[in-house]
Amino acid sequence: MSIFLGCDGGGTKLALCLADERGQVLGKASFPGIMPLRESKDAYVRTLRGYVQDFLKKADLAPDALAAAAFALTCCGESRESTAWMEEAVSRALPGVPFLVMGDQVAGWCGALGGQSGIHVVAGTGSIAYGEDGHGGKARAGGWTVFYGDEGSSYWAGVQAVNAFFRQADGRMEKTCLYDYFMELFHLQDPLHVAGAIDEFTDNGDVAKVASLQRHLKNIWDMGDPVADAIYRRGAAELADLVRALMGRLHFEVPPMVSYSGGLFRGGDCILVPFREEVEALGARLTQPRFGPMAGAVGLAARDHVDRETLLSIMEGVDRYEASTHADGLSV
């Protein structure tokens, strides 16, 4: 019975999952996320190698029991050294085991589209899109970091919301309920005090906390605020522009399926309705994600070793396990 190891490794959390070709999950564990940009080479390699070895030991499996492994890791390919570090860590942890290393957006694509050709858009703290055309073509767009790009992300939406508050405070934009909402949220008597209040609210610009402002933008949208609606529509257009770019770089014989994931999309109609309109205007088809990124990571390990029906069965089994456990610790 072939066993596959998948890794979905983001900056916040790194998850490992073992599944066999029947779709039975043999173990899963979550560890703190690691990023090459925050670690030295020795620290990164030591930590990732240790995660894998510890997981297999607790699962009572030797590396040679694995048919293949796939590691979908944040920052892969985003520096001259990052991919080499990742490959070194995995090769040391899994000697002799066939493995793949790629960006974490690839696991999102594989899971959401069941490994079929198409484009997957992620709009969480940052934004990125990845696509494969079924003829060997692979490409990504976006993901240039929240400081220089990542338009349409939750971070971007949070910044746009605060900028709208500034404009309304100045009189450059007509006041809407957005203005009153932020005055209350930040406990302001004078709008000029907002800069200090925002620093306090976001722990001096912590990226995740700036991105969390998007949830307040959603509350403002629920009130019927036209400025909030305009921000989401601009965000949808930015995300659709990633799709347009990939459609131009890849070769799809039919209009591609486009799927999505990330915190921004969990807002529902505020972003999904305009995003669907934008995607359909490009001639593509929006589809709900089929499986999650953990299923996608295991699927990436298995897809060159099993047939299509078995691959879907494996990913379905992992996704069902994920939905039933939500476990952050080790379960074997």
- DSSP letters for 194-222: HHHHHHHHTTTT-HHHHHTHHHHHHHHHH
Q: Comparing 250 with 48, which gets the higher pLDDT?
A: 250
Whole-structure pTM value: 0.88
Question: 85-89, 155-159, 263-267: lowest mean pLDDT where?
Answer: 85-89
Positions of E strands within the chain: 3-9, 13-20, 25-32, 68-73, 99-103, 118-123, 127-132, 138-142, 257-261, 285-286
Q: Quote the CATH superfamily of domain 3-114+290-325.
A: ATPase, nucleotide binding domain (3.30.420.40)
Whole-number pLDDT of residue 19: 96
152-173 pLDDT, tens digit each: 999 999 999 999 999 999 999 9
Q: Are 7 and 69 in contact (CB under 8 A)?
A: yes
User: What mean pLDDT do residues 54-74 have?
Assistant: 92
Q: What is the mean pLDDT of the chain?
A: 91
Residues 6+ apart with CB under 8 A from 61: 3, 18, 26, 27
Would you list the domain boundaries of the chain? 3-114+290-325, 122-288
Task: Extract the tokens encoding 200.
Answer: 């306090």
**Neighbouring C-beta atoms of residue 74, cutoff 10 Å:** 22
Whole-number pLDDT of residue 332: 40
Evaluate whether 3-114+290-325 and 122-288 have a shared fold.
yes
Q: Which of 296, 315, 306, 251 is nearest to 15 (CA)?
A: 296
- Record: fold of 122-288: Nucleotidyltransferase; domain 5 (3.30.420)
* Residue 133 reports pLDDT greater than 50: yes
User: What mean pLDDT do residues 280-296 have?
Assistant: 95
Distances (CA, A) of 30 to 15, 52, 208: 4, 11, 20
299-315 pLDDT, tens digit each: 999 999 999 999 999 99
Residue 193 DSSP code = G
Q: Are 275 and 267 in contact (CB under 8 A)?
A: no
Whole-number pLDDT of residue 307: 93
pLDDT category of residue 12 using cuts at 50, 70 and 90: confident
Phi, psi torsion values for 74, nearest 5 degrees: -60, 145
The alpha carbon dihedral of 240, 241, 247, 250 has a sign of negative
Whole-number pLDDT of residue 331: 42
pLDDT category of residue 146 using cuts at 50, 70 and 90: confident
